[in-house]
């Protein structure tokens, strides 16, 4: 059983390799009636594209998305939405010893172990290009969430040791900042840090934060499909993510209950919380506050410093990875985190629609269409 399908009610099936003919996704369960066209999806694709951001590879990929099905006269029909991006550059290439050696920190070795062999061209399915299908699907889900009053925004929280300063926070800047940071000063410092590493042939990691606003209370399905658990899986499924935390996260382990608990209070007739250490989730269910989570991204393993490794016959060797590579993937991964969060939250919103008999009766009895 392979794992390239995610979701329960809205289900996303992604496909494609780095240097295959094309990559894409099929989204089953897109509700009928959504205004959808390629221009609405493309900006999301551009956010993950290399060449549009500093410190990313210069190769102009021009990942143009095409809608192949599920849309008629500008609206979704309720049938599967198939989205595709063709690979322009599939020309035969010398992959050198990547075909026969195992790059440290990459999935070369584990793919060979699992499948017996691998498509080594550009990393095949373990390439960052795999996320094209995720982002295309995430774009559609974000458009639906917008109709429901829910926004999802991810941004770079830190790169290496350089963190954003919440006092200097401007979410709009993250969309134009070359490092997807919502803090100009931090971005400049991080760029200096990256330049320094680049000169050494080394790479950096970082942390991505994501905030979901407008999510009603009640979303998340105890006990296994809790909102935080589902977000964790979605985000950890992105290559290079090694950690996930919600609200006060790992810091909560050091706090005492009286400090970590968020007090409820009457906020002008609504029930509010004084703090949000919970990150907007109690018992796995959204509480109406902002959902706030963070993902730890490891440094990109493609460094040009020579590394010890073995070839696929087990012989020790020294590997030098040539060519230009991003020395940080965090800025480009921001939209991927956002996409996975959007898919997850929308799916759980749809799952929640049958949680109460009165809600089902409202749909079928009180508001019966025909």
114 scored as a contact of its own copies (CB under 8 A): yes
Among 60, 171, 185, 217, binds its own copies (CB under 8 A): 217
192 scored as a contact of its own copies (CB under 8 A): no
Q: Which residues contact 154 (CB under 8 A, 6 or more apart)?
A: 208, 209, 210, 211, 334, 335, 337, 338, 341
315 scored as a contact of its own copies (CB under 8 A): yes
2 scored as a contact of its own copies (CB under 8 A): yes
Among 122, 124, 182, 331, binds its own copies (CB under 8 A): 124
Please identify, among the stretches 38-46, 167-175, 178-186, 272-280, the one whose residues bind its own copies according to the rule CB under 8 A: 272-280
Coil, strand or helix: which one is 157? strand
In angstroms, rounded to a whole number, what is the distance separating the alpha carbons of residues 324 and 304? Answer: 9
- Give burial (CB, 10 Å; 0-12/13-18/19+) of 210: buried
CB nearer to its own copies: pick between 177 and 245:
245
259 sits in which H/E element: helix 257-260
Least distance in angstroms from the C-beta of 81 to its own copies:
8
99 scored as a contact of its own copies (CB under 8 A): no
257 scored as a contact of its own copies (CB under 8 A): yes
Q: Please spell the DSSP secondary structure of 90-126, one letter per residue.
A: ------GGGTTB--TTSSHHHHHHHHSS---GGGGGG
Please identify, among the stretches 44-52, 76-84, 172-180, 184-192, the one whose residues bind its own copies according to the rule CB under 8 A: 76-84
Among 79, 171, 185, 195, binds its own copies (CB under 8 A): 79
> Within 10 Å of residue 34's Cβ, how many Cβ atoms?
20
230 scored as a contact of its own copies (CB under 8 A): yes
Among 65, 139, 141, 144, binds its own copies (CB under 8 A): 144
Coil, strand or helix: which one is 358? helix
Pull the structure tokens for residue 280.
């907007």
In angstroms, rounded to a whole number, what is the distance separating the alpha carbons of residues 258 and 160? Answer: 32
Among 44, 55, 111, 155, binds its own copies (CB under 8 A): 111
In angstroms, rounded to a whole number, what is the distance separating the alpha carbons of residues 130 and 127? Answer: 6
Q: Which residues contact 85 (CB under 8 A, 6 or more apart)?
A: 16, 22, 23, 24, 45, 63, 64, 65, 66, 132, 136
CB nearer to its own copies: pick between 172 and 291:
291
Residues 165-184, one symbol each (x = binds its own copies by CB under 8 A, - = not), give: --------------------
Residue 198, CA atoms < 13 Å, CB-side half-sphere: 16
Among 61, 63, 228, 338, binds its own copies (CB under 8 A): 228
206 scored as a contact of its own copies (CB under 8 A): yes
Among 45, 139, 292, 349, binds its own copies (CB under 8 A): 349
Pull the structure tokens for residue 64.
């143009």
Please identify, among the stretches 37-45, 168-176, 184-192, 259-267, the one whose residues bind its own copies according to the rule CB under 8 A: 259-267
Could you say which residues in the range 18-47 bind its own copies, by CB under 8 A?
A: 20-24, 26, 28-34
């Amino acid at each position: 059983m392979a794992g390239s399908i995610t979701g329960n009610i809205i289900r996303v099936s992604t496909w494609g390799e780095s240097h295959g003919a094309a990559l894409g996704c099929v989204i089953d369960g897109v509700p009928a009636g959504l205004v959808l066209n390629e221009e609405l999806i493309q900006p999301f694709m551009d956010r993950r594209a290399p060449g549009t951001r500093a410190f990313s590879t210069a190769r102009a990929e021009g990942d143009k998305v095409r809608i192949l099905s599920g849309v008629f006269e500008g609206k979704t029909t309720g049938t599967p939405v198939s989205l595709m991006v063709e690979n322009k550059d599939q020309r035969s290439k010398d992959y050198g010893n990547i075909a026969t050696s195992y790059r440290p920190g990459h999935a070369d070795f584990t793919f060979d172990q699992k499948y017996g062999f691998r498509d080594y061209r550009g990393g095949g399915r373990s390439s960052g290009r795999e996320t094209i299908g995720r982002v295309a699907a995430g774009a559609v889900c974000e458009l639906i969430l917008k109709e429901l009053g829910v926004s999802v925004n991810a941004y770079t929280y830190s790169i290496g040791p350089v963190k954003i300063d919440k006092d200097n926070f401007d979410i709009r800047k993250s969309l134009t900042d070359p490092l997807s940071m919502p803090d100009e000063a931090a971005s400049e410092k991080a760029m200096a840090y990256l330049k320094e590493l680049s000169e050494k042939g080394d790479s950096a990691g970082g942390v991505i934060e994501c905030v979901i606003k407008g999510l009603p209370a009640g979303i998340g399905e105890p006990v296994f499909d809790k909102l935080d658990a589902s977000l964790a899986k979605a985000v950890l499924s992105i290559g290079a993510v090694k950690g996930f935390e919600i609200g006060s996260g790992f810091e909560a382990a050091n706090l005492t209950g009286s400090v970590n608990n968020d007090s409820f209070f009457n906020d002008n007739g609504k029930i509010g919380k004084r703090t949000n250490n919970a990150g907007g989730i109690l018992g796995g269910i959204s509480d109406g506050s902002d959902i706030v989570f963070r993902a730890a991204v490891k440094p990109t393993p493609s460094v040009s410093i020579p590394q010890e490794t073995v070839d696929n016959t087990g012989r020790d060797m020294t590997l030098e990875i040539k060519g230009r590579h991003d020395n940080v993937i965090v800025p480009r991964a921001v939209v991927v985190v956002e996409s996975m969060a959007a898919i997850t939250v929308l799916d759980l919103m749809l799952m929640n629609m049958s949680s109460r008999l009165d809600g089902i009766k409202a749909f079928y009895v009180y508001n019966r269409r025909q």
